Structure 1
Amino acid sequence: MVRKKGKLPGATVSVAYNLEYGKAEAEIQVDAVTPGQKVVLLDDLLATGGTLFAACELMKKQHAEIQGCMVVIELTELKGLEALVSDVCHRVVNTGITHFNCSSPENIFTFKNELRTACLGVRTAYGC
């Protein structure tokens, strides 16, 4: 699990990345992935691409094999996908959702459950 710096217990590895409004760091636990392990990265929201790019960099730093990336919602006007076109994050799957109504707690709860289901499905499909 990739998190903002300071959110994970134990020894971690981190990378710094740029946000549209500043800088941040993302980190994983040192033993979260092993060299050669196949991984698929799933991000709920692709805006500028900074967070997902940082996640790709972390996996590269740990010598994991990135099989692809998946985003649930893309804010296309921010062109985050362009930041991910590289040898680090070479394949990005977009679910095509560009708008989700978060006006009520029920909608947010439904979205979170659908995201959890998508995560499990992607992990199963890619065998990681």
Structure 2
Amino acid sequence: MSDPKALNEYKEKIATLPRREGWMADQVYHYQGFWHNSSFLEGVMLAQEHFQPQPNDIILSSFPKSGTTWLKALPFAIVTRSSFDASTNPLLTTTPHKCVLSLESDLAHNSFHRNLDTPLIGKYGCGNRTR
């Protein structure tokens, strides 16, 4: 779903946004009341424009470093419990971050191929809220 033309348009738009020095990224950009790094912000813009939620979607949201791995693993295990036995569960060989896609980063930087049988979509927190 990542569209090179759209990503270029987003990069041009990001270049016009107010920016400051970031603590995790070189620059953070102010967009819709939040501060984001540019690569995350591209995904936010792409998701706002192209993401089509389904009625059975489960959206997970957390702040960084607040248990996101567990937050993704537990619902994935519950939702897919009838699809795998104890020896074939993907969580045995794959991290929860690969099992539950991140809406912003996977949508912008990868082909976002949803498995509609697994209605989990992760949202890895938001930017820093402007006061």
Q: TM-score range by the shorter chain?
A: under 0.3
Judging by fraction of residues, say which structure has more helix. Answer: 2
Which structure carries more relative contact order (alpha carbon 8 Å, separation 6+)? 2
TM-score, normalised with respect to structure 2: 0.28
TM-score, normalised with respect to structure 1: 0.28
Judging by fraction of residues, say which structure has more strand. Answer: 1
